[in-house]
């Protein structure tokens, strides 16, 4: 029996055991399997282990997507987390290669995946408050948002959760250094039933603007 003789339900079940690359490779073998690859029912879950995976064409974004995770565990995460004004030219060149990848990808998710229920972002140092606010507005069924080591996330994301995250039940903002204790208190007051976790976020040193030349020296002078 040839694989193409299986019915649609069996083919979807078979594809479900394959990773994204294997699904794409199998789909290339004939139009029937390509059609199965493009079935939204095959793609309720998406997990990415590096930012470069976001640029591939081995997955499908559709209203069927329910769970999305982008977890980047790389030494480059540390570089991306450095404040922009402190980065060397070499560090800036590293970041420029993927600076907009997550934001651009999440904007596509906003357009195509309104039924998203769970999002996990870890090590996404360039994801912005504006992008997360858009996600909260465009995905009204979002119930869980887990952020870890996202250096550009600030209290503005907490305010967006209070304003737009009506269905949100769980929010994690772990190791997000620009989230403050005051912002967390305001969110807890606005959304007392929200399961809110912020490991070490309010205890970390937030980003600082560079001091004007001579400022530090002036502070040392006797008054």
Task: Kindly state whether residue 206 falls inside one of the protein's structural domains.
Answer: no
Given the structure tokens 């980047």, which residue do they identify?
A: 72
- Do residues 1 and 48 share a domain? no
Nearest to 165 by CA among 213, 105, 125, 119: 119
Q: In this structure, what CATH number is given to the domain that contains residue 137?
A: 3.80.10
Say how many domains are in the chain.
Answer: 2
Nearest to 173 by CA among 143, 141, 195: 195
Q: What percent of the chain has pLDDT over 90?
A: 69
- Do residues 56 and 99 share a domain? yes
Task: Kindly state whether residue 102 falls inside one of the protein's structural domains.
Answer: yes
- Do residues 47 and 150 share a domain? yes
pLDDT at res. 4: 86
- Do residues 31 and 68 share a domain? no
Q: Is the pTM of this model over 0.75?
A: yes
- Do residues 19 and 96 share a domain? no
**Which strands make up the sheet holding 67-71, listed edge to edge?**
45-48, 67-71, 118-122, 144-148, 170-174, 195-197
Instruction: Choose between 47 and 77: higher pLDDT.
Output: 47
Task: Kindly state whether residue 213 falls inside one of the protein's structural domains.
Answer: no
- Do residues 77 and 132 share a domain? yes
Nearest to 131 by CA among 151, 160, 155: 160
Range of the domain at 1: 1-42
Task: Kindly state whether residue 55 falls inside one of the protein's structural domains.
Answer: yes
Q: Mean pLDDT score of the chain, rounded to an integer? A: 87
- Do residues 189 and 83 share a domain? yes
Task: Kindly state whether residue 222 falls inside one of the protein's structural domains.
Answer: no
pLDDT at res. 91: 60
- Do residues 38 and 49 share a domain? no
Task: Kindly state whether residue 164 falls inside one of the protein's structural domains.
Answer: yes
pLDDT at res. 222: 39
Q: Is the model's pLDDT at 125 over the cut of 90? A: no
Cβ(70)–Cβ(92) below 8 Å: no
pLDDT at res. 223: 36
> What is residue 187's DSSP assignment?
H
Task: Kindly state whether residue 202 falls inside one of the protein's structural domains.
Answer: no
Q: In this structure, what CATH number is given to the domain that contains residue 27?
A: 1.20.1280
pLDDT at res. 200: 84
pLDDT in tens, 192-208: 999 999 998 877 666 66
Query: For 136, left (φ over 0), alpha (ψ -120 to 50), or beta?
Result: alpha
- Do residues 72 and 19 share a domain? no
pLDDT at res. 202: 74
- Do residues 20 and 55 share a domain? no
Instruction: Choose between 28 and 78: higher pLDDT.
Output: 28
pLDDT at res. 45: 98
pLDDT in tens, 164-203: 999 999 999 999 989 999 999 999 999 999 999 999 887 7
Q: Is the model's pLDDT at 47 over the cut of 60? A: yes
Task: Kindly state whether residue 207 falls inside one of the protein's structural domains.
Answer: no
- Taking the C-alpha atoms of residue 140 and residue 133, their distance in angstroms, rounded to an integer, is 11
Question: Which of 88-92, 129-133, 140-144, 207-211 is the least confident region?
Answer: 207-211
- Do residues 92 and 176 share a domain? yes
- Do residues 31 and 83 share a domain? no
């Amino acid at each position: 029996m040839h694989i193409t003789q299986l019915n649609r339900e069996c083919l979807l079940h078979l594809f479900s055991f394959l990773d994204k690359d294997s699904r794409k490779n199998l789909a290339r073998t004939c139009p029937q399997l390509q059609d199965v690859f493009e079935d939204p029912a095959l793609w309720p879950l998406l997990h990415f282990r590096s930012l470069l995976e976001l640029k591939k064409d081995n997955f499908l974004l559709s209203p069927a997507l329910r769970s999305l995770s982008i977890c980047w565990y790389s030494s480059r995460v540390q570089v991306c987390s450095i404040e922009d004004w402190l980065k060397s030219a070499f560090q800036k060149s590293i970041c420029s290669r993927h600076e907009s990848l997550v934001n651009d990808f999440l904007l596509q998710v906003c357009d195509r995946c309104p039924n998203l229920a769970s999002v996990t972002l870890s090590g996404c140092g360039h994801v912005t408050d504006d992008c997360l606010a858009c996600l909260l507005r465009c995905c009204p069924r979002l119930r869980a948002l887990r952020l870890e080591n996202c250096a550009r996330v600030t209290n503005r994301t907490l305010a967006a959760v209070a304003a737009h995250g009506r269905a949100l039940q769980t929010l994690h903002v772990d190791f997000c250094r620009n989230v403050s204790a005051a912002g967390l208190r305001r969110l807890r007051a606005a959304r007392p039933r929200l399961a809110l976790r912020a490991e070490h976020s309010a205890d970390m040193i937030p980003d600082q603007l560079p001091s004007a030349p001579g400022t530090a020296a002036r502070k040392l002078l006797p008054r």
